[in-house]
Amino acid sequence: MSSKTNRLDRFIRQNSDFSLSDTRLLIAQKRIVVDGCLAESIQQRVTEFTEVVLDGKALNLSKPVYLMLNKPAGVVSATKDAKHATVLDLIQHPLKDQLHIAGRLDLNTTGLMLLTNDGAWSRKISLPETKLRKTYEVVLAKPITQDYTATFRAGIYFAYEDLTTQPAELEILTDHTARLSLVEGKYHQVKRMFGFFQNKVLALHRVAVGRLTLAGLETGDSRLLTQQEIKGELID
């Protein structure tokens, strides 16, 4: 889950006017501080989020940001869009322009989204083998029957990708509403799964990602994740 690492001497060359060969002397002169401690070696590993200070000046101002958003309808899951407001337009954070989306939602789908500037973290939680569970509340045009539950648990064949969906848990709430939990994120997967029964999804709301829920987060609001959530506790 760590970010891509780089040797300290290469980092110094990329972020200052000093050469690779200069770094050893800078270390000997105690002019480089890494995360609050004097640098030890030219081969010391640093990441994009390591605080490297040379002669009292920080060479790397990037800090890891992990954020969740309660997305409203009509907001596009993108960082730039010519026609619609984007999720970044809803966020007030000094580093928001560095963020990317870890798990998009359709324009009119609402609910929990994760954003970060840590590519390694977002790739980790997006890997199929991680099996991070996403839970949705769904409103359907037609009544839902118990046949749906068994079919979703068995998996549904998608001919376009030539694959069968992994087992999903469906809880019928009322005749026209249900809660669906799945560990995949295929293109329009929820709508296509209900489409197997010729039942149109009228509203779709993501209420949880793993153990992370929208509790206390109003529509359009966002908050930073806790250290416990960041380190993987959101994964079941």
Catalytic residues: 106
Share of the chain residues as helix, strand and coil, in percent rounded to the nearest 5: 25, 30, 45
**Per-residue CA distances from 96 to 38, 85, 88, 132, 226 (Å):** 31, 15, 7, 24, 17
- Token representation of residue 6: 């780089």
Q: How far is CA 66 from the centre of its chain?
A: 8
127: Cβ–Cβ under 8 A, 6 or more apart, which residues?
none
Distance, CA of 218 to CA of 169 (rounded, Å):
26
Q: Any idea of the CA torsion for 108, 113, 116, 122, to the nearest 10 degrees?
A: -110
H or E element in which residue 201 lies: strand 201-209
